[in-house]
Amino acid sequence: SQTIHQWPATLVQPVGSPLSLECTVEGTSNPNLYWYRQAAGRGLQLLFYSVGIGQISSEVPQNLSASRPQDRQFILSSKKLLLSDSGFYLCAWSVGTGFTDTQYFGPGTRLTVL
Amino acid sequence: EDQVTQSPEALRLQEGESSSLNCSYTVSGLRGLFWYRQDPGKGPEFLFTLYSAGEEKEKERLKATLTKKESFLHITAPKPEDSATYLCAVQDNSNSGYALNFGKGTSLLVTP
């Protein structure tokens, strides 16, 4: 069975500090990988998706970047955090062409920027 | 303009009191509509995918239905463990095809 891991579970960072969140998937090959953010009072918003190693697509302009150094590893980064980067970050995976594929979510990382 | 609107925002039910949650959507071409359950501090848990109007799916006390403009999540004889936020999301033809557009969710509380 497939398992998705995210770490850290919670993170408190000062404004202007760097960020690195990691997501790994087990039990599947060539997954599509996604980063979403869930802010208070708002729905989940897709930030990045990747269909393969080194292939990253950004859905919204922002202060964040993503990388996929290995098939089942997805990393979300920032060089300098802003207050508005606070939120609940969720990694998800799917298999297939991307169209109507079910996305399965990880446990999330709660990021607070002070 | 929101593509996905969920109502009500919050719902309180007595154990055994059946009800329905609504998800209205406006998209150019629906590829799929997804229902998730999210417990506080956790990632969303997949429940159902619906692809075409008239389709229905069931799982335990939950039943999801789909029309051309909305989806309903029917909860029959709910139990306290059904308390959670229920999220609706759509995938449509207007974007890359990968993004799920989520509603803000319905927070359900079932009391004993």
Record the tokens describing residue B16, joined without a space: 């055994």
Query: Any idea which of B9-18, B20-29, B35-44 has the lowest mean pLDDT?
Result: B20-29
* Inter-chain residue contact B46 with A104, CB threshold 8 Å: yes
Inform me whether the pLDDT recorded for B69 exceeds 60: yes
B4 interface with A at CB cutoff 8 Å: yes
Locate the chain A residue with the closest alpha carbon to B95. Answer: A59
Domain boundaries, chain B: 4-111
**CATH of segment(s) B4-111:** 2.60.40.10
Query: Any idea which of A16-25, A97-106, B16-25, B98-107 has the lowest mean pLDDT?
Result: A97-106
- Spatial contact of A21 and A109, defined as CB atoms under 8 Å apart: yes
B49 contacts in chain A (CB < 8 Å): 100, 102
Q: What domains sit in chain A, N to C, each tagged with a CATH number?
A: 3-113 (2.60.40.10)
B27, B45, B93, B100, best to mutate vs chain A, most A CBs in 10 Å: B100
Please report the pLDDT score of residue B96 as a whole number.
62
Between residues B96 and B45, the one the model is more confident about: B45
**How sure is the predictor about B1, in pLDDT bands with cuts at 50, 70 and 90?**
low
What is the pLDDT of chain B when averaged over all its residues? 93
Please report the pLDDT score of residue B98 as a whole number.
74
For residue B41, give the nearest of A76, A102, A87 by alpha carbon.
A87
- Spatial contact of B110 and B14, defined as CB atoms under 8 Å apart: yes
β-strand partners of B109: B12
CB nearest to A43's CB, from B32, B34, B103:
B103
Three-class SS state of A84? helix
Average pLDDT over residues B3-19: 96
B25 interface with A at CB cutoff 8 Å: no
* Residue tagged 């989806």 (tokens): B71
Pairs across A and B, CB distance < 8 A:
64
Intervals of chain A under pLDDT 70: 97-100
Chain A residues contacting B via beta carbons under 8 Å: 6, 32, 34, 41-46, 49, 51, 57, 59, 90, 92, 97-100, 102-108, 110
Average pLDDT over residues B51-69: 95
A41 contacts in chain B (CB < 8 Å): 104
Locate the chain B residue with the closest alpha carbon to A88. Answer: B41
Record the tokens describing residue B51, joined without a space: 């692809």
Between residues B14 and B3, the one the model is more confident about: B14
Inform me whether the pLDDT recorded for B103 exceeds 90: yes
